[in-house]
Structure 1
Amino acid sequence: MLKPRPTSQPIRVSFEFFPPKTEKMEETLWQSIERLAPLAPEFVSVTYGAGGSTRERTHQTIQRILRDTALVPAAHLTCVDASREEVDEVVRQYRETGVRHFVALRGDSQLGVGEEWQGRSDGYRNGAELTEGLKRIDPDFEISVSAYPEKHPESPDLTTDIDLLKRKVDAGATRAITQFFFDNDLFERYVERVRRAGIYIPIVPGIAPVHNFTKIANFAAKAGASIPDWVRTRFEGLEDDPLTHSHVAAACCAEQVLDLTERGFSDFHFYTMNKADLVYSICHILGLRGASADVPPALQSAAA
């Protein structure tokens, strides 16, 4: 049963988008941003492809968010296949634009199974070194880093993974955003281990609304994120029933977040996939409200 969130603990959200590759995708992105903006997110982040493959589009999206909205943007930054000087120059460009919040990531290594990524000799090797570099450029930067409740696929074990998170915090990270997960018990145990390791920055749950169960299951397998049987059962037989799929997805995600609020968590980072309606529905269930004037006319007509 879905329960109302405690009024004494307001829910705070942030949203993640990815830069568009085509004009049509850009139109969809901005429709999503406009739809979700009235929910007053703490910030919105824009991803950055492996090796900086989407660097220019990311930069353009960030610039438009700063110019055309009141949202606070966080720029993703990766260090794979780039020198320190190249990364530092990108950071300075963002700073000139007005960006003060970064999501510092190593990035995908593009290596085969069993290969160990060493990094460039003239580059940042991981998120801890990148965080350190960001703080050298501007000590006042807000820096979010990644965390993995089920460990990063390339880490030998969870202890090693948490050790790296500690290095990121020691370098100046102010927040950790997790890989998506579906098992709240697993996440809570992870946070307990992180606290025992002396890490006290906010650990923000990364929440993935299930827009397409088959796709997210495939991605979860690659990312090392488990999907409980009860979640799989919820989506069985809905491959060709998108309407029911969306209703089930909203209920599943809202249940997960409401349970986390009862466990004492109040900040949530939603991986939107540039699709606003499902995320908006979930936030509505959670008690977040945007002005009715911001509902798209088509949806207002449908409700009339």
Structure 2
Amino acid sequence: MTSTTKLSDHFRSGGCPISFELFPPKTEKGMQLLEQNVERLNQFKPAFFTCTYGAGGSTQSKTLDVVERVAKITGLPVATHLTCVGSTVEQLCDYLREAKRRGADYIVALRGDPPQGSDEFQAVEGGLRYANELVELIRKEFAQEFGIAVAGYPETHQEAVDAKTDLENLKRKVDAGADIVVTQLFYDNDDFYRFRDECDRLKIDVPIIPGILPVTNFQQAERIAGLCKARIPESLTNAMNVADCDEEQFAIGVEHAREQTIDLMNNGVAGIHYYVLNKSEAAEKMLEGLSLGQTS
């Protein structure tokens, strides 16, 4: 599909619109399960769906398969992630043209993580070094085709020298033409509110959308949090450590994410982005009865 709705407009019509992030399954069975879960998630009237791809662009084609199928199932705008890793400018433009042909409406523009086995990001010859350069490329070559989201880090990007430098990098991405900022996951809302206040001070004047990942398996959550430098509150850690079974961990994690959601709504966030790991059960329990989703 081709959306007529600008990406930032989803967050300027009142209410608290939501979106869901997916990743490309490895098998056709996984794709079928994903489609079933997308249908269930669609009942919450999200503004759009996004889809990641694997390290170094390893699942780009499957990502576009997901984008195409989700657009067909839901009739909603869809976004594909795009990173600078391993790609020349020409290859990035090729991907963007194919993404548009396959129905993508928005791009989540990222620098990307260093390739496996490397501690430092290295641009390929003829490629880009930073996410703001990718935003500039999209705005220059595809200004009418795509809305652009970029990433923000409430607890500071793990490679950043310090929080001030990280925020300055974010401002460069927004000044280059990003429509919205979607944050990395966090488990303490105070971290998000501090981040939002700092964005205001720097006059980052696009919608700042918090990203939430329910903890449904504590070991998995610790691994993910470690990768993205997200702090798990002591109270949540203690509750998870005394849980008797996986089902109790699931219930504790979902309730924590639900409380985060309610508190964010009460504090006037522009919207909320959910990392759902291609599943719907946690989101269904977390969002049940809440006044979220599209208002029109």
TM-score calculated relative to the size of structure 1: 0.87
- Check the 8 A contact 2:49/2:76 in 1, yes or no: yes
Say whether residues 1:224 and 2:233 are aligned partners: no
Say whether residues 1:143 and 2:148 are aligned partners: yes
Measure how far apart 1:142 and its partner are. Answer: 0.7
Aligned to 1:293: none
2:293 and 2:180 mapped to 1: Cα distance? 25
- Check the 8 A contact 1:37/1:71 in 2, yes or no: no
Aligned to 1:185: 190
Aligned to 2:39: 34
Aligned to 2:246: 242
- Check the 8 A contact 2:179/2:206 in 1, yes or no: yes
- Check the 8 A contact 2:22/2:50 in 1, yes or no: yes
Measure how far apart 1:231 and its partner are. Answer: 1.2
Q: Note the 1:59-70 alignment, pairs <5 A.
A: 59-70=64-75
- Check the 8 A contact 2:16/2:293 in 1, yes or no: no
Q: Note the 1:155-174 alignment, pairs <5 A.
A: 155-174=160-179
2:159 is paired with a residue whose SS is coil
Aligned to 2:181: 176
1:146 is paired with a residue whose SS is strand
Do the aligned partners of residues 289 and 226 (structure 1) sit closer, same or farther apart at CA in structure 2, a change above 3 Å counting? closer
Q: Note the 1:72-87 alignment, pairs <5 A.
A: 72-87=77-92
The code of the aligned residue for 2:151 comes to: S
1:67 is paired with a residue whose SS is helix
- 126, 129, 136: which is aligned to 1:132? 136
Q: CA offsets, 1:258-304, max 9 Å, x none? A: 111222214100000011011111111423599xxxxxxxxxxxxxx
**Relative to structure 2, which stretch is displaced further, 241-250 or 140-149?**
241-250
Q: CA offsets, 1:217-273, max 9 Å, x none? A: 1221121111110111221233x6222222212211111111112222141000000
- Check the 8 A contact 2:22/2:49 in 1, yes or no: yes
TM-score calculated relative to the size of structure 2: 0.90
Do the aligned partners of residues 195 and 98 (structure 1) sit closer, same or farther apart at CA in structure 2, a change above 3 Å counting? same
- Check the 8 A contact 2:114/2:122 in 1, yes or no: no
- 253, 257, 280: which is aligned to 1:276? 280
Q: CA RMSD in A?
A: 1.9
- 257, 262, 265: which is aligned to 1:261? 265
Do the aligned partners of residues 111 and 277 (structure 1) sit closer, same or farther apart at CA in structure 2, a change above 3 Å counting? closer
- Check the 8 A contact 1:48/1:78 in 2, yes or no: no
Aligned to 1:300: none
The code of the aligned residue for 2:210 comes to: P
1:82 and 1:69 mapped to 2: Cα distance? 31
| Gaps in structure 2 of 5+ consecutive residues | 1-12
Do the aligned partners of residues 288 and 263 (structure 1) sit closer, same or farther apart at CA in structure 2, a change above 3 Å counting? closer
Q: Note the 1:177-216 alignment, pairs <5 A.
A: 177-216=182-221
2:245 and 2:36 mapped to 1: Cα distance? 24
1:267 and 1:173 mapped to 2: Cα distance? 16
Aligned to 1:88: 93
Percent identity of equivalent pairs: 38
Measure how far apart 1:45 and its partner are. Answer: 0.2
2:285 and 2:151 mapped to 1: Cα distance? 26
1:218 and 1:98 mapped to 2: Cα distance? 33
Aligned residues: 281
The list of structure 1 runs, each at least 4 consecutive aligned residues, that deviate by more than 4 angstroms after superposition, is none
- Check the 8 A contact 1:104/1:127 in 2, yes or no: yes
Q: CA offsets, 1:67-106, max 9 Å, x none? A: 3331211111111011110011000111123322111111
